[in-house]
Amino acid sequence: MNVAVQLQKIRKSYGAAEIIKGLDLTIEDGSFTSLLGPSGCGKTTLLNMIGGLDQPTTGSIQIYTDTVFSSDDYINVPIERRNVGFVFQNYALWPHMTVLQNVGYSLRIRRLDKMEREKQSREMLDRLELGGLANRYPYQLSGGQQQRVAIARALVYQPRLLLLDEPLSNLDAQLRERARSWLKDIHQNFKLTTILVTHDQIEALSLSDQVVLLSKVGIEQFGSASEIYTRPATAYVADFVGGANIIPGKLIGMPDKATGAMATVETADGTRISARSDLPARIGSEVSVAVRPQKIVLTGGQARSEKSGAVVPFKPRIVLYQGAQYEIVGDTPFGPLRIQTEQQPTEQTMASALLPAEECLCVRP
Amino acid sequence: MTATDPSLATASISRDSRILQRIGNNRGLIVRIVLAALLFMLLVSPMVPIVYQGFLDKPLYDGSAAFTLANFGNLFADPRFINATKNTLIIGFIGTAISTFVGFLSALFLDRLDLPFQRTLRMMFLAPMFLSSLIMAFAWSMMYSPTGFIALWLKEVIGFGLPNLNSLLGISLLAGVSAAPVSYIYFSAAMQNIPNTLEQAARAAGATPMRAIRTIVLPLLMPSVLYCVLLNFVMKLDLLAVPLVLGGPARIEVLSTYLYDKGIVAAQVDYGLVSAAAIFMLILVQLFVFAQKYMLGDLRKFNTIGGKSSSPSQIRVGLWGWLISALIFAYCLLTAIFPCLFLILRSFTSFLSPYMPISQVLTLDNFRMVLGYEAYVKSIYNTLIVAIVGGAVAVVLTFVSTIVAYRSPAFIRSFTQQTAFIPKAIPGLVVGIGIFYATVLLPGGGLLRGSLAILVVAYIIRYFPTGFATLSPAFLQIGEDLEKAVRITGGSQIRSYIAVTMPLLKPALLSCYLLYFVQFFKEYAAASFLFSPDTAVIGTTMLQLNVMGNYGPVAALSAITLALTLPVAIFIYSGKKGA
């Protein structure tokens, strides 16, 4: 495995407030990595640090073999010598230059002659299907076109990394979906290590090989998109990605791989829930059970379900019709529960709910 | 059909009441239209009588006056006028070049470079903004003119003096230097409007910090540069004190001093000629306005898409920073601090010369003379009244105008916003002359002419665009919904402005007031056509004393002015620090 970016012991504080508290991260060469998290978790700051727009208070950053920042060795390579491509949230196209001039600017700095500059810029524009727009000014472009020009501008000088700061957030919903598959296409075409900052979980899951899920505490989980979704490590991840009911409790039965036995968690009121578990937790330790609302089955009035798991009494409070499904919020002995179902619920079916053991997962609280 | 037909009577009554009803429903709109019209009339009032007088063969109060073009013929036949125009253009170009260049460089250095003592230097650089160019002219003259202290001292020590300050170049230099702080503020604001990311994108593409500024920031500043040039040029046309004080000894005449001489000093005022000259100045300014618009072309090429407006990062320059800071400090010392200190020192002495020890000439006579003479005390008193009361009136007018300009149907909106900037292109002297003529024409004008109110009117017209521009951005930030929320809970329209808009605007209203206060305190050009012995202000008194050669009292008056305005300036600065 080739390392593209390595962050070590990164800390960042503004005055007394510490935004990033000792973070380590390694990003593989050629991968598409998303920094996912809510606003204020420091994800953009992290991206800016890699690009050189911002400096960590302490720590070190390595891009391929170059140390571009190190607080110990007083190294801070300025942005212009890091050779990275950066796409800003508002695209930051230079309004006084045409599309061709925008794209050719970096080549001019690299002292290519006019012919070569134009050739390479036009090639890049053609590759991104922008050939016809070369002589337009940014104000004459649509939002989607501006975004593509911004990417062409960042790719033309063959940077070592492509850094994207919420590049899709300024597009409307329809365009965003198209731009998403287009971004994926670019990554596959150019095979360039790409780091994306986003707060949109679908964007992160659908685009990236690796997702770094950040919260105010630091990295919650670093893994492939499917790992993040199917095996969230913490209650925070389970809820942030895809949404989940988080039921706090105590571990009272250990799972056993040999027999296939599930873990058992007891909630404060004594309800016992069977769940999968990969946690290195001991009997008696505090854990939470995460279960996605669409996996819960309403079982009221039915003698038995084909699935096994904890059956709990349920008192529905609100039923929301959402077109494809119904969402029901109600109470159980261990607290509120959110359920999504395609079947129209009746008073009878809503009397109890099954938490299928296969769909319940022990996570760190 | 008879008058007793009951059905007809009720029909007409209900029609009448319907009209009343409609007027009542649109009361807010009607009030706005009236206010917008009044504002327009106020702001164009100086121009109308001037243009009218320009085409009359006799003074406009003379009933037998007839249409003529002779005034313009006479004007262009006057070699003094031709010469003054030439000098004005030279001073305008060189002075504008100096103030734009110094303003831009200082904005770049003080805002973007990581300099030692940045904040202090910025305050020192901006401080002359609060000084009238009259004081600057006196101070420079006493220091650097051929008979000035420094020039004589240098001659004594190293054998030769300074280049002659009483020259076109000297006038241009002081005119340029005194307008540098305004240019700085202009560029500083314009640079802050350029999103940081545009520069960062250039850096990511490989540009060094200075190259990013040169290729991205500078081209985007083009509209501001041209606008700043225009503004500066109008300011140069407007300068009266600098050419009067520095150019007087060398008999260098410019358009403003030509007008001053023909319109005030001359025993027999030729109204037609003065008006023709004023019209000429107006046209000159308009030419520049058109040139500026033509040169920019499609403005959308410069529109930056607003991102998060974070203050741009400061460029590290290391040891160079100390050198740049030292240069800026030296500039501030030479252009403002030394001259002002010298002026204060001069006010406490009977005579200052490098050939005489200071201890022998120390005296309080200058202050005794100024404060002992009723007319002088009165001018100080008048200045304070005009600044304090006039400033308050101006703020109220500005506030009402912003409401009309931003809380009205579209047509009133754009009309008022454009109206507000009309006086920007009228030199202060021309405003003075115009208001004077207007009071001659209007009934009851004589009463106005004898009171301080006429000064307030002229000053308000003169500085209205600046005040409006200060208040507008703050006003735009207050969502109309906040006012609507008051009305939904049952408050009237006026109440919504008093309950919500005014408290939220408090800081902006205060800075608008302070701006008017300082400008009104400084202004003398518009006053020089309007004042009577009873309504003299500090500036006009200083000009008169200077003509008589009484430099001691001039210095004393300057010192008093400094003492009165500096606390306000410091207050404004400390307020800005908190924000």
> Residue B2 has what pLDDT?
44
Q: Kindly list the residues from chain A whose CB atom is less than 8 angstroms away from the CB atom of residue B202.
A: 94, 105
First to last CA, chain A: 33
Looking at chain B, the whole-number percentage of residues with pLDDT higher than 70 is 91
CA–CA min distance A201, chain B (Å): 23
Average pLDDT over residues B538-542: 85
Q: Which residues of A touch B213 (CB under 8 A)?
A: none
Does the beta-carbon distance from A80 to B204 stay under 8 Å?
yes
For residue A89, the chain B residue with the least C-alpha distance is: B307
Rounded Cα distance between A192 and A321, Å, is 44
**Where do the domains of chain A lie?**
3-230, 242-363
Residue-level pLDDT at A10:
92
Decide if A293 touches B, using CB distance below 8 A.
no
- pLDDT attached to residue A317: 92
Measured CA distances, A294 to A217, A275, A298, A341 (Å)? 29, 16, 10, 6
Q: Is A112 an 8 Å CB contact of chain B? A: no
To 5 degrees, how large is the angle CA A37–CA A42–CA A44?
85
Q: What is the pLDDT of residues B562-578, one digit of tens each?
A: 888 777 777 766 655 43
Chain B contacts in chain A segment 142-161 (CB below 8 A): 153-154, 157
Residue A15's φ and ψ, nearest 5 degrees, are 65, -125
| Unique residue bearing structure tokens 């407007």 | B238
Q: Which residue of A has its CA nearest to B198?
A: A92
Lowest mean pLDDT among A118-127, B17-26, B269-278: B17-26
Phi (first) and psi of residue A157, to 5 degrees: -95, 20
Determine which helix (DSSP H) or strand (DSSP E) holds A250, and give its type and residue range: strand A245-253
Q: What is the pLDDT of residue B47?
A: 84
Least CB–CB distance from A95: residue in B200, B207, B304: B304
What superfamily in CATH does domain A3-230 come from? Answer: P-loop containing nucleotide triphosphate hydrolases (3.40.50.300)
Residue B310 has what pLDDT?
A: 56
Tell me, yes or no, if the pTM score tops 0.80.
no
Q: What is the dihedral of CA B479, B485, B491, B496, to 10 degrees?
A: -10
Query: Nearest residue of A to residue B211 by CA position?
Result: A109
Token couple for B295: 């040169």
CB contact under 8 A, B204 and A51: yes
CB contact under 8 A, B305 and A80: no
Confidence of residue B558 (pLDDT cuts 50, 70, 90): confident
Of residues B506 and A293, more confidently modeled = A293
User: Between residues 310 and 369 of chain B, which touch chain A (CB distance below 8 Å)?
Assistant: 313
Q: How far is Cα B360 from Cα B377, in angstroms, rounded to an integer?
A: 28
What pairing do the DSSP bridges indicate for beta strands A193-198 and A161-165? parallel
Q: Which of B200, B206, B220 sits opposite A53 (nearest CB)?
A: B200
Q: Are residues B301 and A154, on separate chains, in Cβ contact within 8 Å?
A: no
Does the pLDDT at position B321 exceed 70? yes
Instruction: Give me the DSSP letters along A179-212.
Output: HHHHHHHHHHHH--EEEEEES-HHHHHHH-SEEE
- Window 14-73 of A: residues touching B by CB (8 A cutoff) are 51-53
Q: B307 and A96: CB-CB below 8 Å?
A: no
> Are the beta carbons of B205 and A139 separated by less than 8 Å?
no
Of the candidates A101, A122, A58, A109, the residue with the CA atom closest to the CA atom of residue A79: A109
Q: Please report where in the chains the tokens 């989980």 appear, as a residue.
A: A221
Neighbours of B390 (CB within 10 A): 25
Among the residue ranges B22-26, B274-278, B560-564, the one predicted with the least confidence is B22-26
C-beta of residue B349 within 8 angstroms of C-beta of residue B538: no
Residue B388, number of CB atoms within 10 A of its CB: 14
How many Å apart are CA B157 and CA A84, to the nearest integer? 60
> Does residue B364 or residue A104 have the better pLDDT?
A104
Mean pLDDT of B325-346: 88
CA A6 – CA A24 distance, rounded (Å): 8
Give me the DSSP letters along A206-246: HH-SEEEEEETTEEEEEEEHHHHHHS-SBHHHHHHSS--EE
Q: Please count the other Cβ atoms lying within 10 Å of the Cβ belonging to residue B208.
A: 16
B333: pLDDT strictly greater than 70: yes
What's the CA gap between B500 and B504, in Å, rounded? 6
| Closest approach of A351 to chain B, Cα-based (Å) | 45
Are the C-beta atoms of B193 and B304 separated by less than 8 Å? yes
Q: Which of B300, B303, B305 sits opposite A90 (nearest CB)?
A: B305
Locate the domains of chain B by residue range.
Answer: 44-303+316-578
User: pLDDT band at residue B95, thresholds of 50, 70 and 90?
Assistant: very high
Mutate: best of B215, B217, B315, partner A, most A CBs <10 A: B215
- Nearest CA distance, A142 vs chain B (angstrom): 13
Q: Please name the residues in contact with B330: beta carbons below 8 A apart, sequence gap of 6 or more.
A: none
Position B536: which residue type?
Answer: A
Hey, is the C-beta of A121 within 8 angstroms of any chain B C-beta?
no
A173 CA: distance to closest CA in chain B (Å): 20
Residue whose structure tokens are 């209007």: B442
ipTM for this model: 0.82
Mean pLDDT, each 10-residue run in order, chain A (365 residues): 89 86 90 91 90 90 92 89 90 90 91 91 90 90 90 91 89 84 89 92 90 89 90 90 90 82 88 87 88 89 69 90 91 91 86 88 88
pLDDT of residue A105: 92
**What residues of chain B lie within 8 A of the CB of A94, using their CB?**
198, 201-202, 216, 220
Q: Please tell me the predicted confidence (pLDDT) of residue B308.
A: 46
Of A186-195, B65-74, B251-260, give the range with the top mean pLDDT.
A186-195
What residues in A contact B197, CB-CB < 8 Å?
88-90, 92
* Amino acid at residue number B64: S
- pLDDT for B3 equals 46
Q: Give B306 or B424, the one with higher predicted confidence.
A: B424
Contact B197 A96 (CB under 8 A): no
CB contact under 8 Å between A80 and B207, yes or no, is yes
Chain B from 395 to 454: CB within 8 A of any A CB: none
The whole-number average pLDDT for the span B65-76 is 81
pLDDT above 90 covers a percentage of chain B that reads 7
* Residue of A103, A92, A105 lying closest to A125 (CA atoms): A103
Q: What is the mean pLDDT of residues B129-147?
A: 83
Residue B525 confidence (pLDDT) above 60: yes
Using CB atoms, pick whichever of B195, B208, B215 lies closest to residue A80: B208
Q: Which two tokens stand for residue B228?
A: 């700043």
Indicate whether B13 pLDDT > 70: no
B377 is written with which tokens?
């005390």
Q: How close is the nearest chain B Cα to the Cα of A84, in Å?
A: 6
Would the pLDDT of B80 be above 70? yes
Tokens representing residue B450 in the block:
């004898």
For the segment B176-191, the average pLDDT, to the nearest whole number, is 85
Model confidence band, residue B312 (pLDDT cutoffs 50, 70, 90) = low
- DSSP lists the bridge partners of residue A67 as A62
A139 touches chain B (CB under 8 A): yes
pLDDT at residue B578, rounded to an integer: 36
User: Tokens 């009305």 sit at which residue?
Assistant: B487
In order of A128, A153, A345, B378, the CA distances from A114 in angstroms are 21, 16, 69, 71
Name the band, by pLDDT with cuts 50, 70 and 90, for residue B394.
Answer: very high
CB atoms closer than 10 angstroms to residue B287: 10
HSE-up of residue B391 (Cα within 13 Å, Cβ side)? 20
Q: Cβ–Cβ of A139/B304 closer than 8 Å?
A: no
Chain A residues within 8 A of B201 when measuring between CB atoms: 86, 88, 92-94, 153
Interior/surface letters A288-322, b for 16+ CB within 10 angstroms, e for the rest: bbbbbbbbbbbbbeeeeeeeebbbbebebeeeeee
Name the residue with higher pLDDT: A240 or B511. A240
Partners of residue A96 in chain B, C-beta under 8 Å: 219-220, 222, 301-302
- Give yes or no for residue B242 having a pLDDT over 50: yes
B44-303+316-578: CATH, from 3.20.20.70, 1.10.287.1080, 1.10.3720.10, 3.30.830.10: 1.10.3720.10
Tell me the mean pLDDT in the region B542-551.
Answer: 78
Q: Shortest Cα distance from A154 to chain B (angstroms)?
A: 7
Q: C-alpha angle B425/B429/B434, rounded to 5°?
A: 85
Q: Give residue B238's pLDDT band: very low, low, confident or very high (50, 70, 90).
A: confident
**Phi/psi of residue B60, each to 5°?**
-70, -15
Phi/psi zone of residue B460: left (φ > 0), alpha (ψ -120 to 50 degrees), beta?
alpha
User: What integer pLDDT is reported at residue A292 of this predicted model?
Assistant: 92
* Residue B431 · residue B526 · CB < 8 Å: yes
CB of A96 less than 8 A from some CB of B: yes
DSSP letters for A130-154? -GGGTT--GGGS-HHHHHHHHHHHH
Q: Which residue of B has its CA nearest to A50?
A: B204
Q: Are A121 and A107 in contact (CB under 8 A)?
A: yes
Of A81, A96, A110, the CB nearest to B220: A96
Give the residue from A111, A118, A45, A55 showing the smallest Cα distance to A82: A55
The DSSP result for A86-137, as a single string, is EE-TT----TTS-HHHHHHHHHHHTT--HHHHHHHHHHHHHHTT-GGGTT--
Could you tell me what percentage of chain A is helix, strand and coil, using 3-state DSSP and rounding each to the nearest 5?
30, 35, 35
Q: Which residues of A touch B205 (CB under 8 A)?
A: 80, 105-106, 109, 153-154, 157
Residue B432 CB neighbour total at 10 angstroms: 32
CB contact under 8 A, B205 and A153: yes
Of A52, A86, A137, the CB nearest to B201: A86
**Chain B residues within an 8 Å CB radius of A153:** 201, 205
Let me know: does B46 contact B454? Beta carbons within 8 Å. no
- Say if CB A210 and CB A224 are below 8 A apart: yes
B200/A92 touch (CB, cutoff 8 Å), yes or no:
yes
How high is the mean pLDDT of chain B?
Answer: 81
